């Protein structure tokens, strides 16, 4: 098999888990949902292939013909094509719709590659070292909002939660830094929701023993969310909502909204489950 064939390939419903979900633990996998009759798809496809091949295996492109994989298209909410969805570590992490120009496709893949490589050194440092660094930055400039968000994240990683809300209080709600602060607040609230619910393994045992138990699904969802396992958490919280309308309109919905904020409200998972929840409630 040529290198190009390894980096750009067609995927069927039967092979999707192996070739996309499992493969995304090794490198990002970009999925192109397309169809032969779609004009914009024929415009975008060659651009995607060119830009992916330039990366020589750092990212791969999986092509899904929606006419032949209708269940996959329905599962991922593909309402129009072309629809591009990027997977990393087994989860969809970013995407776009429509035939973007080459420069924007290149920027999309650049951003995906940067995230995969972890180009945020502060995030990889020891949380205690982060805390010290961000405290110094705030001492020098109390209006350094990014340092405040960084400090809040470092404290949350150490389970030192008492001062997080006060640290974030001056951060404006607008813009990227406001969205990051909202995500940290949501993670804090999710950690509080999970307190006293027990270990994940025990809750999985309860769900396995009684799959119809909405409360067990809800509690497992909260514990998974507190651990940052957001894809599994949303699946469990939605399962709770499906089984109990009171939970759907109350605690399960509220927990799912907190996960949306923790992910980033325009994250593909947030969009997917927001749509599912709306369909269930309305």
Q: Maximum Cα–Cα distance for the chain, whole Å?
A: 60
Averaged pLDDT of the chain: 85
Q: Please compute, for residue 141, the number of CA atoms within 13 A of its CA located in the half-sphere on the CB side.
A: 10
User: By percentage, how much of the chain surpasses pLDDT 70?
Assistant: 93
Using pLDDT thresholds of 50, 70 and 90, give the confidence band for residue 9. very high
pLDDT at 119 over 50: no
Residue 115 is predicted with a pLDDT of 53
Are the beta carbons of 149 and 65 closer than 8 angstroms? no
pLDDT at 122 over 50: no
Query: Which pTM was predicted?
Result: 0.57
Cis amide bond preceding 82, omega within 30? yes
User: Catalytic positions, please?
Assistant: 38, 41
Phi, psi torsion values for 196, nearest 5 degrees: 80, 5
Using pLDDT thresholds of 50, 70 and 90, give the confidence band for residue 5. low
User: By percentage, how much of the chain surpasses pLDDT 90?
Assistant: 33
| Per-residue pLDDT tens over the stretch 86-118 | 888 788 888 888 888 888 888 888 877 655 554
DSSP-H helix ranges across 93-126 = 102-117, 121-124
Are the beta carbons of 61 and 20 closer than 8 angstroms? no
Using pLDDT thresholds of 50, 70 and 90, give the confidence band for residue 35. very high
pLDDT at 126 over 80: no
Q: Which helix (H) or strand (E) holds 129?
A: helix 127-140
Are the beta carbons of 48 and 105 closer than 8 angstroms? yes
Strand ranges (E), the chain = 8-10, 29-34, 60-65, 83-88, 91-97
Higher pLDDT, 122 or 230: 230
| Per-residue pLDDT tens over the stretch 159-216 | 888 899 999 999 988 877 888 888 899 999 998 899 888 888 999 999 999 999 999 9
């Amino acid at each position: 098999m040529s290198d190009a064939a390894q980096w750009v390939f067609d995927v069927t419903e039967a092979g999707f888990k192996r070739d996309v979900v499992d493969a995304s633990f090794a490198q990002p996998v970009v999925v192109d949902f397309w169809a032969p009759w779609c004009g914009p798809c024929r415009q975008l496809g060659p651009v995607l292939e060119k830009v992916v091949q330039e990366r020589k295996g750092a990212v791969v492109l999986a092509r899904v013909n929606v006419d032949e994989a209708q269940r996959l298209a329905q599962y991922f909410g593909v309402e129009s094509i072309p629809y591009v969805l990027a997977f990393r570590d087994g989860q969809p992490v970013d995407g776009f719709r429509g035939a973007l120009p080459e420069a924007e496709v290149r920027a999309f893949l650049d951003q995906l590659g940067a995230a995969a490589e972890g180009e945020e050194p502060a995030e990889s440092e020891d949380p205690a070292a982060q805390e010290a660094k961000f405290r110094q930055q705030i001492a020098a400039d109390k209006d350094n909002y990014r340092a405040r968000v960084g400090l809040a994240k470092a404290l949350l990683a150490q389970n030192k939660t008492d001062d997080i809300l006060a640290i974030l209080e001056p951060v404006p709600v607008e813009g990227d830094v406001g969205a990051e602060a909202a995500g940290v607040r949501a993670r804090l609230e999710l950690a509080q929701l999970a307190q006293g619910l027990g270990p994940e393994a025990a809750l999985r045992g309860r769900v396995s023993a009684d799959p119809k138990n909405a409360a067990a699904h809800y509690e497992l969802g909260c514990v998974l969310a507190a651990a940052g396992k957001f894809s599994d958490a949303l699946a469990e919280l939605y399962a709770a909502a499906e089984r109990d309308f009171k939970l759907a309109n109350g605690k399960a919905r509220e927990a799912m909204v907190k996960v949306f904020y923790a992910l980033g409200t325009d994250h593909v998972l947030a969009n997917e489950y927001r749509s599912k929840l709306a369909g269930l409630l309305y």
